[in-house]
Each structure stands twice: as structure tokens, then as C-alpha cells.
Structure 1
């Protein structure tokens, strides 16, 4: 039996990281980006400590509510404001925070499992 992943079912995948941005499938994203199971878009967020739910609207505008938002905070783990987590929780959405390298790995694993999540990734540099 031969098993293959259906790239359309998984959606966009992070194929590489650099100090400036990310390679998602065959496209380079210079700077921060939002990922959903449906698309990858460039993102111009504030500093992590000023992040608000309105800044994540592109991550939340998908055909089905994500289980949680995977937040990659750059080269190191940084905590976003508590109010962000509370605002997401009020919508029934969780928040998982980690550095962007770990978040990129987690994105691929979780999407391969078919988990319906969204991601917001700060670049490493």
C-alpha cells in the first residue's frame, strides 16, 4: 500500500525559515505572516507585547473556526498580553505560544493530522 499526503487537504506548509521570513510552499514571505489551512498571507503585526485580537483577524477569518491560534513569537518565546488569550477564549479559540522555529514544526505536524488551526508567525530576525 502506498500512502501519500494530499497537499490540498493539508494546506500551506512552511518549507524553510530565515532571519527575514519564511518559505511557504514555493513562495517567500519576507517578514511576518498569517497561515490558515486555506492560505498564507503577509502580516504587519505590532510587537508581541502589544498584540490584540484585531491584529489576528486574518487568522480568524476562515471557513470554520480554528481550534486554536499557533503564535510563533520570533527567535525566542515571548508572552503576548493576557487580554489576547482571554479575547480568543471568549470566541472558543485557544492560543498556543512558542518561538517561531517550534511553531513552524508544530504547524506541519498538526496540519498533517488534519487539525483545523491558524497560525501567526513573527520572523526570526
Structure 2
């Protein structure tokens, strides 16, 4: 049997994710990010779904999706109801799941040509969570 890696016909494809990292094309990401087939925003400052505000979805909504997939890390964590309502008021679905499940769901929908956007959450690195800066300055 001969196996070939079939690459999609869009620039950014998600190869997988878990609670610690994601692989987009050949790039390993360990901080929260947003992906759509034509867009990759590597620095999304959200680290905990439970603390999200409706405005935290603005970067995803700006991409005009029909559906948002939210990967919340190694475990499923729902954002506050007002965040979910913000999407529904605009007629956009919001599906919340673990990063691994979100990666699979996003990849299937993107491969079908759907207008899907995904946000993946990763916990803040210890130096950021502790409030220190790189180099200890």
C-alpha cells in the first residue's frame, strides 16, 4: 500500500492538537491561536474559556464564519453563557470541545469548504502566568 500526504488547497491546515500544542502546516504552536483555511493568527491572548468575554470573539467573528470551533485545551471548558449568546445573536454556531476533538472537527469542516474558524486555547506559559518578562526584567 502506498500512502501519500494529501495537502488541502488552502494555505493553513491543522494537522492535530492536544492540550499542550498544535501543528499547523509544519509549525508547532504552544500559545493560543486562531485558524481559518486562509488565515493564521498566532497570538490570541485568551488562555481560559471560563474567563472569556464576548469581545474575545471579535477576532474570530471578523473572519465571517458560519461556525466557530473553540478548543479549550486538554479538557472541555465552556465559556460564560453571554459569550455563547453573542455568537447565537449573530446567527453563528459555537461548538466547544477539547483541542484534540476541535482539531479533528475543524479539519473535516475546512476540507468540506465550510466557512469555519477555530480558536485554540493553551494555558499561559509559567513566566507569563507569574507576571514576569522574558529574561527576568
Q: TM-score range by the shorter chain?
A: 0.7 to 0.9
Deviations along 1:1-55, whole A, 9 cap, x unmatched?
xxx76422xx422124355422201223221111123211121104211112211
Hey, which bits of structure 1, 4+ residues long, moved more than 4 A?
none
- Distance (whole Å) between structure 1 residues aligned to residue 123 and residue 56 of structure 2: 19
Q: Mark the CA change 1:68 to 1:78 in structure 2 (over 3 Å): closer, same or farther.
A: same
**Structure 2 stretches of 5 or more lacking a match?**
1-5, 125-137
Structure 1 residues without counterparts, runs of 5 or longer: none
1:89 offset after TM fit, Å? Answer: 1.0
Distance 1:60 1:102 in 2: 21
Asked if structure 2 preserves the Cα contact closer than 8 Å seen for 1:13 and 1:107, the reply is no
| 2:119 counterpart of 1:120 | yes
**Aligned pair in 2 of structure 1 residues 46, 5: CA closer, same or farther (>3 Å)?**
closer
What's the counterpart of residue 15 of structure 1? 15
Rg (Cα) greater in structure = 2
Change (3 A) 1:114 1:124: farther
> Contact 1:51–1:80 (CA<8 Å) still a contact in 2?
yes
TM (norm. structure 2) is 0.76
Measure the CA separation in 1 of the matches of 2:73 and 2:8.
Answer: 29
- Cα RMSD (Å) of the superposition? 2.1
Structure 2 CA distance for partners of 1:102 and 1:76, relative to 1, 3 Å: same
Q: How many residues align?
A: 118
Residue 24 of structure 1 corresponds to 24
**8 Å CA contact retained: 1:32, 1:122:** yes
